[in-house]
Amino acid sequence: MTEKQTQPKALLSFEYRRTGMGGFDDTILISFRSKKVVKSLLRTSRTGNHGSRSYRLFPARYIAYEVSRSNGGNLYGFVKVIIINSDGQMEIEQEWQVFDRRPLLTLNDLPTNIGILLIENKDQLPLFSYIFPFDNQEASTPADAESTPQD
């Protein structure tokens, strides 16, 4: 047996909601190691409006991209660095509220490595262009967006 197989996996679940009135809740995890979105299992009710997104995780650090939109259209967004301990418990290492009905932080306000990972995975992150509306989405890194000369 390899060391990877002997490590315990943690099972984490997050609320999922997608209503016909525009309400939405979801949490997507990105691995620091693979730099990609972690595969998850989405289970929903028969209507598909409510459910949970579950992850099986090895002990490591992850980015949690969490978005919530009320039926009235109020949008909230958080970016968190979470740690899964060897005993399977989750701890929040750092947390930033990036959107609270209006933008609070840009990608450049986050640590560079986190901003880069978010941009690299933006196509898999729900409501990304609403959460970070003023960021140059085409730049490969937050630093590139600042240093690009304007013609």
pLDDT at 139: 44
Res. 144: pLDDT tops 80: no
Q: Is 14 exposed, middle or buried (0-12, 13-18, 19+ CB in 10 A)?
A: middle
Res. 65: pLDDT tops 70: yes
pLDDT at 87: 86
User: Tokens 């980015």 correspond to what residue?
Assistant: 63
Tell me, which fold does domain 3-146 have in CATH? Immunoglobulin-like (2.60.40)
Q: Is 26 exposed, middle or buried (0-12, 13-18, 19+ CB in 10 A)?
A: buried
143 or 122: whose pLDDT is higher? 122
pLDDT at 91: 93
Cβ atoms of 118 and 91 within 8 Å: the answer is: no
Instruction: Name the percent of the chain lying above pLDDT 70.
Output: 83
The mean pLDDT of the chain is 85
Largest CA distance in the chain: 58
What are the C-alpha distances in Å from 90 to residues 9, 45, 87, 96, 121? 12, 26, 9, 17, 22
